A and B are shown apart, each in its own frame.
Chain A
């Protein structure tokens, strides 16, 4: 089955720790995205990547980092600099980065800071 997988489903972090969220896709999509979802705020774009070895900051990139070393993988690191990291994180991909290409979403990772 083609799709997007995210792991883990739930993640707990102590304050001051960095954590990495995994996102893998086997859809052969060039573009990948990370969104943060908070109640009542919809989805906000953290980072996006239009092609391998390239990525750009989204609207709320502070305290986050990404890499795109392989086409199918786009891990997100939540660093200790992120002031309020507790949220639901969604990864998405699309065939290309143009507006008409549908974004397909993974099942999400819920991060809780203890």
Chain B
């Protein structure tokens, strides 16, 4: 079974500064990888996903993520954060060998943006 770890529970970043959120996965093959964002009291919105091919994936809202097989990582980055980026971010991994697409979610990283 797949699993995913987000080592940082909480990150504080200044507006305009860069942001990197870490995600490490455990899976026997190349998994499908996702990043979702959740604003307070809301559902989750997909930021980007990786299935195969180019290991640098571009998403919405200026986010990108890089798949590194050697490090079992799929870190999310944004060059310059905006106050509206304050939210909780979830990394998720999907199995490529199951008959259905169960997603395993990480515990999330809360991002606070300061002026």
List residues of A whose CB falls within 8 A of some B CB. Answer: 4, 6, 31, 40-45, 48, 50, 58, 90, 92, 94, 97-108, 110
Contact = CB atoms under 8 A, between A and B. Distances in A.
Most buried by B among A90, A100, A110: A100
A20 B101 CA distance: 26
Interface residues of B, number: 24
3 closest pairs, A vs B, by CB? A99-B101, A105-B43, A99-B94
B101 A101 contact: yes
Contacts of A107: 41-43
A110 B41 contact: yes
A99 B98 contact: yes
A100 B100 contact: no
B63 interface: no
B22 to A, nearest CB: 15
A10 B100 CA distance: 31
A102 B49 contact: yes
Interface of B: 9, 32, 36, 41-46, 49, 51, 90, 94-96, 98, 100-103, 105-108
A102 B36 CA distance: 11
Contact of B43 (A94, A99, A102, A108): A108
B101 A42 contact: no
B43 A106 contact: yes
